Amino acid sequence: MSENQEEKGKKEKNAKPKKGGFKLILVMVVMGCLAPFGVPTLLVCMGLAPTLVALVTDTDENRSGLATIGYMNFAGVLPFLIDLWQNGQTMEAALAIVRQPFSWAIMLGAAGIGHLILYAVPPVIASVFLINQESRLRTLREGMQQLEAIWGPDVASTTSLDAVKSSRGG
């Protein structure tokens, strides 16, 4: 067996199995919920369309886009789901909610706020972190200057201690 074949065999053994079972399970759960909970499931599936799109398109390893958009989208769908539960779980009540442009504006607007959070918050956090680190660096440099004033320039050099001793004759 050649070395290339051995390397391929090792890579195949160490390869991680592809993830895809979650989507299949999600489809099965939705289909299973349609029979006993058809009306609320209809409203939830239509209202959570942006979350389903994020589920398919989010390539981030941590799935932060899916989480951010999904939670905000669910927060937009929840008031209408509660309204459906309070007014009777009939198809007419669900379609009345779905037909109202205001309900779509709330559900999709909440998902839009999730997108805004996803794209606006990380740069703000990075800026705050950068300012914090620059302040820390400035403090360390000031401390280094104070040490140089007290102990001399050798304290701030990167030369080894043996080199400094030999240059001073010690």
CA 3 – CA 53 distance, rounded (Å): 44
Residue 11 lies in a domain: no
State which residues form the domain around 109.
20-154
Among the listed residues 93, 110, 104, the one whose alpha carbon sits nearest the alpha carbon of residue 40: 93
**pLDDT for 5-18, tens place per residue?**
555 555 555 555 55
Domain count of the fold of the chain: 1
Average pLDDT score over residue span 18-44: 72
**Residue matched to tokens 């589920």:** 55
Residue 15 lies in a domain: no
- The per-residue pLDDT for 28 is 78
Task: Note the pTM of the prediction, 2 decimals.
Answer: 0.62
The distance from CA 132 to its chain's CA centroid, rounded to whole angstroms, is: 23
Residue 137 lies in a domain: yes
Residue 77 lies in a domain: yes
The confidence band for 79, taking pLDDT boundaries of 50, 70 and 90, is very high
Residue 145 lies in a domain: yes
Average pLDDT score over residue span 107-116: 93
